[in-house]
Structure 1
Amino acid sequence: MASVLNSIMVILRTPSVWRIVSDLLPFTTPLWLLVLVGLCFGWARKPDWAASFFNRRIGTSENEVSGSRQSVVPGWRVLPNSDFSKEKGEKMSDLSLTEVENNKKLVVTRVDLLRLYRLTEERDGGSSWKHMFDKTLPTMSYQTWMRDLSNGLTQYRSRTVFEDATPEQVRDFFWDDEFRISNRWNEMLMYQKTLEECHLTGTMIVHWIRKFPFFCSDREYIIGRRIWDLRRTYFCVTKAVPCSTIQRRNTPRRVDVYFSSWRIRAVESRRSDGQKTSCEVMLFHHEDVGIPKEIAKLGIRRGLWNCVKRIEPGLRAYQLAGLPSHLNPISGINTKITQEYIESLDNSGCLEELGELERAGNGGKSKGGEKPEPVHFPGMLLIGGAVVLACVIDPGLLTKMVLFGVTGFIWPKKGV
């Protein structure tokens, strides 16, 4: 300690200012390294002040949004929250089958309904599913599977059962982006804005920005949504759609391939009392976020449950809040269908249209019509990236790895 003080005194006696600065640099270097590390980890978690600053930067004022809105489909408009009740929405949705369903400009159509239906019935013609894991909480159970698609992406299927929840509550809960952000049950979503709503079909176009780990930029989504009602079995489709009103930027990076859709229905409670007081959500999800496939798979395998288990307390908070349907009227505007209707789609020429959609949307081709060159990463970089991704998703994982080593992470036991 005395030697350090003596060195500092010698430096201070130096007549040249530049000499003093150059001699002090070795002492301040560790401090600046600590500051840099702190900034990296702090920005990775993106505190509230950063998210609000980011929202201001991209411009979220009503004047800016209203000035940039242009109807994607003729007759579309943005609905004030007080304009429609749930009852009005349900009556108007019946008109969509005759007046709007044949409009080819709808961003979410019966082809997407058929695609989801065939997935739920396991008649989509894809490869077999590989089981990942099962998890159980006192009021929720969760199962998930995965498989590789022909376009190189990985698709995930999950079955979640919530005890003491109705299909309508769960439907409105997943459609309520404002609550998703305010409650923070989905910490990845940092910005949302409704761009368009159709008062006949309930179709929406929303703008999302999601937070990603610090080693890659955040991601931007333009998502089309629509719900079909088959006697209180809800087919909810969300997928990436084109949008010319929001220009592409380098940051955040736009995600062009995104399909995340689910079937919601009432099922019997695990109490085996014969009452359908539980709600089942069957989810199918795949997207192309531009992260190497193996890194994404390892990161999701280790971080998925930590994200999913936050859904259950979020749903319970939504139920306790008793949010009325008129606060989110668009979720109650559902296209009513029958089993005969969906079977007629399955047996009609809609299948050819579905095949064209699959080839156009999942061909794995770039804008120029050529397949992108595969990105090759060294093995250790893949493992290191997966470790960082999993630690960002699950902050407690880093402590576990320090205590118990990383062997179990790199080579997980079979069946985990």
Structure 2
Amino acid sequence: MSTMPHHTPNNNLPEIDPDSLEHSARTAVYLQQLIKQQGSIPFRLWMHEALYAPGLGYYTSGNTKLGNERDQAVTQSPAGDFTTAPELSPWFARTLARQITQVHKASGTLDILEFGAGSGILAHDILAALDNPDINYFILELSPDLRARQQEKLSGFKNQVQWLSRLPERFEGCVIANEVLDAMPVELFQWEDNGTLAEKYVTLDNNSQFMLVNQPATAKLAEKIARRMPALPGYTSEINLQAEAWIHEMGRWLAKGVAFLIDYGFPQKEYYHPQRAQGTLMCHLRHHAHGNPLVYPGIQDITAHVDFTAMADAALEGGLEVLGYTSQANFLLNSGLMKLLSTLDPQDTARYAREIGPVQKLLSEAEMGELFKVLAIGFGIDEPLMGFSRGDRRHML
């Protein structure tokens, strides 16, 4: 068993208010008790509990901090821990709505199902853009706090929106998962110097501080990783078996329609590139990104990039078709973003600048345009999807 020392909180991280520190301390006690009962827990379980433990986890305790840059003065520093595309600009949802309309026509239904709807702003803007009272919008949300925020945000559409507590038995229509896969708990692994695979567990040191330790991986996990990458001594990365199972299961309940999976990530060759030897695990705290998942449990987000090849394979194994894969920038441009923006008046320079600035972030290679990808999977749709009409990268998966 080899160990990785526990890191003290990074001095570059922002000041945390006393209430948040107190909440994090309560979450830490809960996790310490869990580890004391079991000796050590797989990192996947640590990530799950730190994010989703009832009343304590980041997503279930009212601590989720989504920054909405649209409602802030330019001089303000951004609120929250991170900002998503829908929070950045309404043009993201308006463009996505054009692609949804095509799916609705092709599938003969007006239903939409969104997973993990955040503040509810994406649902709000899609419904406003589609402007059709016959559309049924379903939301599956694990966080009671976020569900309450969504209900408030969507009160104007209350006759059209329903919240689900479990997966539907059967669904036809359009499925949206924007930044959902990256928040699913991952297995963390490391190749040992002797060529064997270790899985990382979380345990306690002599001072009851959290620390990562390597334990021999199960034969099943070792076999899965070996099929995806060579044994590179010291190489650390992640595998998201929960996300793969979730997509595989979609093949059971998505009878007709398209699921759009929008997230940051890479194809497998890039994901397990020899130079990406520290993996992709990332934590977000008040708009500061850092790499230590063992600090500030319950008040920081923990994410990993998405292996889109693995997601496409899981879809195929579940009986779904892979209908498109491209960058967020390509997807938005193909879906008619520029046509929508042409309705803006360039003479109204203040408004024009306010609207275009965030759109440039959505499209820029240096920002979200290239890092974020869109994978479309589905069943029973015969026509090509507009979002992938140019620059489809399925051949790279």
Task: Give the TM-score normalised by structure 2.
Answer: 0.26
Higher relative contact order at CA 8 Å, sep ≥6: structure 1 or structure 2?
2
Question: Greater helix percent: which structure?
Answer: 1
Q: TM-score, normalised by structure 1?
A: 0.25
Q: Which has the larger radius of gyration?
A: 1
